[in-house]
Amino acid sequence: MASNGSDEAPAKRIKRRRQDEDGFYFKSYAGVSIHEEMIRDEVRTNSYRLAILRSSEQIAGKIVADIGAGTGILSCFCAQAGAKKVYAIEASAIAEQARKVVKSNGMEQQIQVIQGKVEDVELPEKVDVIVSEWMGHFLLYESMLNSVIYARDKWLKKGGIILPSKASLYLAPITNEEIYKERIDFWSEVKSKYRLNMDCMIPYAKECIFGSVQIEDVIGSDLIAHEREVATIDISTITEQELQSIQGSFDFKCFGISKFCGFAAWFTVTFDDIQDRDPVTISTSPYKHPTHWKQSVLYLPEPVSVEQDTEMKGLITLSPGMTNSRYLDVALQYTVGEMPQISRHYTMSDDYPS
């Protein structure tokens, strides 16, 4: 009967202390499979590899900090790019494996693996480069960017660089009536299947499913308007304070007649290129090659009919979860055509498996 997912029952929330949050979070990176999944994602890993090797002019002979180094793969890429020293900081027990990876590639002189939380670790010197793969689902789930900011403010030399340097969040309205058939109509079908009326479960099913962020592979052709960039994060300057509330407005114009079912969100991250080539970018767009991040969807409780050029305007706000700062709360305010403004809240957590 055990299952996994991300529904949220807002009624009963148990506050965990920050220490517990971190303990649970870091344990989730101790097993092998999460690292396999990330390294298997070639869009992710090849982009980091390419961006690091292309930055070899800035990395060669320099000091690097890899924030949340995992198996150490990005640290090794930095060593291959000629780094003089890489501090590979990793809080979970996978750090032990990173040490082996470093050794078996003969990089012990260059890379020092340090097991500990970024916030607890001391480095013997400042660094020229920070590299980190900190992005979670919906960009900010897991709140790992906070540790990158902490490292930047404490260790990065003036004029030092951060890889990647920029992140952007995109939003687009989508259609996907299947979700209502699959997840909501199910409860009406119990009557014919088992001779029992479970229609009364529908409001709760809607509350759970349409009150939480759904992580799924959105089909490009389900977009009913062009996407908008709703927020940009400059990783060189963003503050922890600013991350408490990332806000952006949007304004869509629908392609044609369709059923508007929700908003899909995704992100890109960009690595600066000093040689003025097109910068390396990881895109998690539904139009691009799928990544392990998939897309994030904020569904409406029921579809809304739209026509060609129907306008949707609104505001999206992302903030750390109220019950656990590694979770994510999403607030939406929007209008569709001439209809009155609507406000919705979505949570993203693993507290309430679905």
Task: Given the residues 119, 142, 177, 240, select the one marked as catalytic.
Answer: 142
Cβ-based nearer residue to its own copies, 323 or 333: 323
41 neighbors 47 (Cβ within 8 angstroms) = no
Cβ-based nearer residue to its own copies, 7 or 90: 7
CB atoms near residue 182 (< 10 Å): 11
Under the binding rule (CB under 8 A), the answer on residue 325 touching its own copies is no
Q: How far is the CB of 144 from its own copies (least distance, A)?
A: 8
306 vs 344, beta carbon nearer its own copies: 344
User: Side chain identity at 95, as an amino acid letter?
Assistant: A
Alpha helices in the chain (DSSP H): 18-27, 33-40, 42-54, 56-59, 73-80, 95-104, 145-155, 178-179, 185-194, 202-209, 240-243
| 93 binds its own copies, rule: CB under 8 A | yes
Tokens of 37: 């999944």
Nearer to its own copies, 208 or 300 (CB): 208
**Least Å distance between CB 247 and its own copies?**
23
Looking at the Cβ atoms of 197 and 247, the one nearer to its own copies is: 197
Q: Which is nearer to its own copies, 212 or 310 (CB)?
A: 212
Q: Is 21 a catalytic residue?
A: no
Of the candidates 137, 152, 166, 344, which one interacts with its own copies according to CB under 8 A? 137
Rounded CA-CA distance 49/77 in Å is: 6
Number of residues counted as binding its own copies (CB under 8 A): 73
One symbol per residue from 19 to 58: x for binding its own copies (CB under 8 A), - otherwise; what is it?
Answer: ----x---xx-xxxxxxxxxxx-x--xx--x---------
Angle of CA points 255, 256, 261, to nearest 5°? 85
Residue 307 bears catalytic tag: no
Window 244 to 263, contacts with its own copies (CB under 8 A): none
Contacts of 311 (CB under 8 A, 6+ apart): 251, 252, 253, 254, 335, 336, 337
Give the integer Cα–Cα distance in Å for 292 and 295. Answer: 9
Binding its own copies (rule: CB under 8 A), the pick from 125, 185, 199, 229 is: 199
Q: Does 279 interact with its own copies (rule: CB under 8 A)?
A: no
Closest to 34 in 3D by CA, of 70, 9, 3: 70
Contact call for residue 116 and its own copies (CB under 8 A)? no
Q: Which residues contact 39 (CB under 8 A, 6 or more apart)?
A: 45, 71, 73
For position 148 contacting its own copies by CB under 8 A, the verdict is no
Say whether residue 15 binds its own copies (CB under 8 A): no
Q: Among the options 122, 133, 178, 338, which is catalytic?
A: 133
Out of 109, 188, 197, 244, the only residue in the binding site for its own copies (CB under 8 A) is: 197
Among the listed residues 62, 78, 87, 269, the one whose alpha carbon sits nearest the alpha carbon of residue 164: 269
The set of catalytic residues is: 133, 142
